[in-house]
Amino acid sequence: MKDLASEILPEQSVTCLIAADTELRKLNHKFRGKDYPTDVLSFPPDDVAISFDRAAAQAAELGHSVEDELRILILHGLLHLAGMDHETDGGSMKRTEARWRKKLGLPAGLIERVTA
């Protein structure tokens, strides 16, 4: 995924924290005012935080590997760091994420899950 980060965010290094639900819940509460764990958070300009617990549960629910789920979450977080926002961009992030998922051979991403 290092190559992916350098393609999406050239000349920028990215830090990715993979932690438990308890840590993502704290971060989600502190920065978004939401008191529950979430799967991925992006902190521009260069940090992504992912819940391993959420990734494992989502992978089991959707029938693919935890590794694929982590890749999906990293991709989603990187696109947010690149300035994309699926809530406001009229589908641009959804299309970009779909292209990357196809290129990487990944199953459905977060945006498709919500809009399906």
The list of the chain residues with pLDDT below 70 reads 1-2, 115-116
pLDDT at residue 116 in the model: 55
CA atoms within 13 A on the CB side of 28: 17
Pairing of strands 47-51, 15-19: parallel
Q: Pick 2-115's CATH classification: 3.40.30.10, 3.40.390.30, 3.40.50.920, 3.40.640.10.
A: 3.40.390.30
pTM of the predicted model as reported, rounded to 2 decimal places: 0.90
Q: What are phi and psi of 62, to 5 degrees?
A: -95, -5
- The residue extents of the domains of the chain are 2-115
Which residues have C-beta within 8 Å of that of residue 33, sequence separation ≥ 6? none
pLDDT of residue 11: 84
Q: What is the pLDDT of residue 109?
A: 78
